[in-house]
Chains A and B, each alone.
Chain A
Amino acid sequence: MSRPSTLLEARNIGLRLDERWLFRNLSFSIPTGAFISLTGPSGVGKTSLLRILYGELSPTEGELSSPLEKPSSQAMIFQDLQLAEGAATLTNVLSGSLGRHSSVKTFFGFPQIEKKQGLALLLQFGLERKSSQWASTLSRGERQRLAICRSLLSRPTLLFADEPVASLDSEWADKTLCTLHDSQIKTGGSIVCSLHDELQVQQFSNYILRLNPSDPSAWTWEEPNPIF
């Protein structure tokens, strides 16, 4: 499958919330096969920027362009997870595949092939023994892994992740970031991920976007491991 070399391009975007600019004149492009980290202290606007890139929020200024068609080619791992609490863990994962099937087809359940892949993801993220439990009965860390599984099953070209490892211990955090990195990059997709831990940022990123809380225009774009 041929994919465009640039998945998303931001030109001079800025966002003002409550009379305050969070960031301004932000320009960058997301190439295919890239892991982009988004960092900065809490409240600097990382979640808002991810929502703008995902198309849920309009920037106050500037524009975005992308050759991708929303929604099937993009996915977001939300900070508040947004799981169906009263549905089984496996059902939550499988609902990531809904975009590929008609309502009629999924009315009485999911195709076998999706079930296999859903179970494989649960196994990979250590949730296989909880597949029939309600999402509400899982711990915070397990819920976070579940939300990641759901996003991965939707097979997005461009994956946005809002602090996807915030509730995970260091072992699961590294494992999860490795999986996200591999699955996106191998399939020719990219990931934009907000992270707090500088070690993780350095370890996984091709590009790093740092937002600055004291000056909305003083963001930096670093290229520790650029893609050519």
Chain B
Amino acid sequence: MGRTQSDLLDMESKMPWHSRFDLLGITFLIFLGSALGALPSIEGSGRDLDYLGNLSRFLSQFFPPDWSILDRTLSGLLETVQIALVSTLLAIALSFVISLGASRNIAPAWVLWPTRMLLNMIRTIPSLLWALVAVVIVGSNSLAGVIALTLYSVGYLAKFFSETFESADLSAQHALKSLGAGPLQAFQYGLWPNARPIIWSHCLWMLEYNIRSASIIGYVGAGGIGLHLKLYAESADSWNKFSLVLLCILVVVTILDFTGEKIRHAIRQKLEGSNQTKP
């Protein structure tokens, strides 16, 4: 109280120079320094190659795409989408249970840390490696794809879900408890409605991601369109077939990206509400 503007300016000028470096500033500086420091170690082959010439010769083999294999490609894509759908559903169910154990505001510490460690371990393994393991166990088929993507997705979804539970608006849960609701009731009617839209957004994102992943895991034999990619890449003069498969994947992924983003945006807007603009 009673502070004039010049007092405030005076206070600001007396602040130590390092007070400007908050967590954001410091981490950005560390990142920038490390990236620049890494530059000298990135080397090419050292030979004087005609990069642009190589690229244009390679890409010219992609055109025109071979439309005669469209039917085969579409059925491969359908299998890819089916793998993604089933694995995402399984992952959502598993992640919901596991995420409760990974949420600080829900689980006790002795459950929390082992669960988080497990999720970290799952995330460390890339989807292609999961696919390899699954192919070794169940053979080269789409079941291997489902197993691989389910395990891979759980690592991410369970983390997202638990973060959502931790950051969700807890006030409604608190209000219901004070009105006499039990812990399960307060979760179901207070916390869950606030977390549910965000959780569904994450699920949609995971589905998109899994369709992209499902396109590539066939490369190691786990079903879907990836197997077609592998065949065309390994046989000579099939780059025009390869390009058709890529084109089809591009179309599906673009449609998915677009609709997924639209739905997520609508959900976010509905949850944030329009009560600021209404009287």
Instruction: Determine whether the beta carbon of A107 is less than 8 Å from that of B275.
Output: no
Chain A window 131-144, contacts with chain B (Cβ cutoff 8 Å), 1 for yes, 0 for no: 00011111111010
Chain A residues within an 8 Å CB radius of B175: 76, 78, 82-83
Chain A window 46-81, contacts with chain B (Cβ cutoff 8 Å), 1 for yes, 0 for no: 000000001010000000000000011001101010
A15 vs B229: C-alpha distance when bound (angstroms): 72
Q: Do A138 and B273 form a contact, CB below 8 Å, given A83-B172, A85-B194, A95-B190?
A: yes
Which of A29-37, A96-104, A195-203 lies at the interface?
A96-104
A136 vs B193: C-alpha distance when bound (angstroms): 11
| A87 adjacent to chain B (CB < 8 Å) | yes
Instruction: Determine whether the beta carbon of B193 is less than 8 Å from that of A86.
Output: yes
Instruction: Determine whether the beta carbon of A139 is less than 8 Å from that of B271.
Output: no
Chain B window 206-232, contacts with chain A (Cβ cutoff 8 Å), 1 for yes, 0 for no: 000000000000000000000000000
Chain A residues within an 8 Å CB radius of B278: 139-140
Chain A residues within an 8 Å CB radius of B202: none
- Which residue from chain A places its CB closest to the CB of B276 in the assembled complex? A140
Per a CB cutoff under 8 Å, which of B184, B185, B188, B193 touches A85?
A: B193
**Residues 165-188 of B contacting A (Cβ, < 8 Å):** 169, 171-172, 174-182, 184-186, 188
Instruction: Determine whether the beta carbon of A84 is less than 8 Å from that of B178.
Output: no
Chain A residues within an 8 Å CB radius of B196: 86
Instruction: Determine whether the beta carbon of A84 is less than 8 Å from that of B189.
Output: yes
Chain A residues within an 8 Å CB radius of B185: 95, 98, 103, 106
Per a CB cutoff under 8 Å, which of B174, B180, B184, B189 touches A72?
A: B180
Q: Which secondary structure characterizes the binding site on chain B?
A: helix
- Which residue from chain A places its CB closest to the CB of B196 in the assembled complex? A86
Per a CB cutoff under 8 Å, which of A76, A83, A102, A107 touches B178?
A: A76
Instruction: Determine whether the beta carbon of A141 is less than 8 Å from that of B279.
Output: yes
| B270 adjacent to chain A (CB < 8 Å) | yes
A6 vs B157: C-alpha distance when bound (angstroms): 53
| B274 adjacent to chain A (CB < 8 Å) | yes
Task: Tally chain B residues at the interface, Cβ within 8 Å.
Answer: 31
A141 vs B276: C-alpha distance when bound (angstroms): 11
| B197 adjacent to chain A (CB < 8 Å) | yes
Chain B residues within an 8 Å CB radius of A102: 182
**Residues 97-129 of A contacting B (Cβ, < 8 Å):** 98-100, 102-103, 106-107
- Which residue from chain A places its CB closest to the CB of B198 in the assembled complex? A86
Chain A residues within an 8 Å CB radius of B182: 98, 102-103
Shortest distance between the CB of B132 and any CB in chain A (Å): 40
| A91 adjacent to chain B (CB < 8 Å) | yes
| B12 adjacent to chain A (CB < 8 Å) | no
Instruction: Determine whether the beta carbon of B271 is less than 8 Å from that of A95.
Output: no
Per a CB cutoff under 8 Å, which of B172, B174, B272, B275 touches A140?
A: B275
- Which residue from chain A places its CB closest to the CB of B178 in the assembled complex? A71
Shortest distance between the CB of A129 and any CB in chain B (Å): 15
Chain B residues within an 8 Å CB radius of A190: none
Lowest 5 CB-CB distances: which A-B pairs, in order? A99-B180, A87-B193, A136-B273, A98-B181, A139-B278
> Which A positions have Cβ atoms within 8 angstroms of B?
54, 56, 71-72, 75-76, 78, 80, 82-87, 91, 95-96, 98-100, 102-103, 106-107, 134-141, 143, 150-151, 154
> Which B positions have Cβ atoms within 8 angstroms of A?
169, 171-172, 174-182, 184-186, 188-190, 193-197, 270-275, 278-279
Known: A76-B175, A76-B178. 13 other contacts (CB 8 A): A71-B177, A82-B171, A82-B172, A83-B172, A85-B194, A87-B193, A91-B189, A136-B270, A136-B272, A137-B270, A137-B274, A140-B275, A154-B179
Question: Could you list some 24 contacts between A and B, CB below 8 A?
Answer: A71-B178, A71-B179, A75-B179, A82-B172, A82-B174, A84-B172, A84-B193, A84-B194, A85-B169, A86-B194, A87-B189, A95-B181, A95-B189, A98-B179, A98-B180, A100-B180, A103-B188, A134-B270, A136-B273, A136-B275, A138-B275, A139-B275, A140-B278, A151-B179
